[in-house]
Amino acid sequence: MARINPGFTKELKSFGAFDVNACYNCGNCTAVCSLSDEDNSFPRKMVRLSVLGLDGELKTSLEPWLCYYCGECSTTCPRQAEPGELMMSLRRWLTAQYDWTGLSGLLYRSLTAVITAFLLLAAGVIWFASVQNFNPESLLHTGHYFEMLAIACVFAFILLPNIIRMWLLTVYSRHKKIPVKRYFSSLGELFVHMFTQKRTLGCDDSKTRWIEHLILVISYLALLFTTVFLDWFGTDNGFIIALGYIESAAIFVVTILFVAARLKKSTEVSKHSHPSDWMFVVWLSLMGLTAFVVRLFIDLNMLENNIWIYIVHLIILVQWALIIVPFGKWTHFLYRSFAMWFLKVVE
């Protein structure tokens, strides 16, 4: 028997949704969507489940992750019910559902909580730096170790359990008996979608968005690898240094384009910006910028006298690694690709 949550649309609104009750079920959104097909029908089905308050059903749905938000459904919706933004809000809501700590939900819904957390982390970094007497060498050293530790811990204690929860909800709760072999045979799907986001190409809007996004993902992952494993800030290898410059510059340029689009609200996807969207793109941009500047200062031998720039970079890095990556928009990188894998598994 279905359980109805009468307050669900209100709850969803706190994640950014619009007036989903405006929907009169014409199905235009589903019909114009180039990613929707016979087996995976959305967004109207998701709108319907939301209006009815069937959150149990939504919690086990993979459909929100199948939408790559071209915004065609919102532009053509005869009721201006913003189905595209509903799908986006459902992704935020699902992120909160998967998260065992509950912090995701809190941070998505309360800007005050986010700002407080950011300020606390900034204060922590400054305090830590003062304890280290603002010694550049030891700061760079701990910064490097912090990165490795943060990645390991966030993955082991937050992201991995959350993905297991996602699997329990979307796969295990519905299909109890799936041979393990199926998981392996369709594993390719996970990596293909994780590193190419090729599904975006199915959207009717231009290829530019996909290319920009792809450059961003690749540069981000590469910069992560370069700083963590190739020790970009500590190396003397000219090739690695140049590589880091290119990657951080690419991140900065692409995110600036995204910020500009969100400011201009030029496309449907950039029209509605939730604080989490701003946070994600601005912090990524600042990461690229500050990393670039820090390495530049090292190369110009200016870091010794300008250690503040590294502290700024470290603050941004800490906020990124401890808030945005485990609890914020960063997780869509994982959930989207896992959703594609799970979909292949249950097919």
Partner 1 sequence: MSEHKKILEYDVLVVGGGIAGGECALNLANLGFRVLLVEKDLTIGGKMIMLSKVFPTLDCSACITTPKVSEIARHPNITIFTGSEAKKVTKLAEHNFEAVVVKQPRYVNVEDCTGCQLCEEACPVSVTDQYQYGLVGRKAAYIPFSIASPRAAAIDIENCTLCGACERVCPTNCIDFTQTEEEYLVKVRSVVVATGFNLFDPLKIPRYGYGKFKNVITSMQMERQLAPTRPFNTILRPGDGKMPDNIAYVLCTGSRDKSVGNPICSQVCCMYSIKQAQLLMGALPMADVTIYYLHIRAFGKGFNEFYAQAQGMGVEFVKGKIGKITEKDNGNLILRYEDIEEGKVKEAEHDMVVLSVGLLANPEISSSFTNQKLELDPFNFVQQTDMLANPAKTSIDGVFVAGTASAPMDIPDSILSGGAASAQTISYLKQAMEK
Binding residues for partner 1 (CB under 8 A): 24-33, 36-38, 41, 44-45, 75-80
CB of 24 vs partner 1, minimal distance in Å:
7
Burial of 260 (0-12, 13-18, 19+ CB in 10 A): exposed
Nearer to partner 1, 272 or 329 (CB): 272
CB of 72 vs partner 1, minimal distance in Å:
9
Distances (CA, A) of 69 to 44, 84, 269: 14, 6, 6
CB of 42 vs partner 1, minimal distance in Å:
9
The amino acid at residue 32 is V
Per-residue tokens: 106: 């809190």
CB of 244 vs partner 1, minimal distance in Å:
46
CB of 31 vs partner 1, minimal distance in Å:
2
Nearer to partner 1, 79 or 165 (CB): 79
Nearer to partner 1, 59 or 79 (CB): 79
Nearer to partner 1, 11 or 63 (CB): 63
CB of 36 vs partner 1, minimal distance in Å:
5
Nearer to partner 1, 78 or 124 (CB): 78
**Cα 309 to the chain's mean position, in Å?**
26
Nearer to partner 1, 36 or 255 (CB): 36
CB of 82 vs partner 1, minimal distance in Å:
11
Nearer to partner 1, 37 or 299 (CB): 37
Nearer to partner 1, 46 or 325 (CB): 46
Q: What is the rounded distance in angstroms from the CA atom of residue 321 to the CA atom of residue 330?
A: 10
CB of 21 vs partner 1, minimal distance in Å:
14
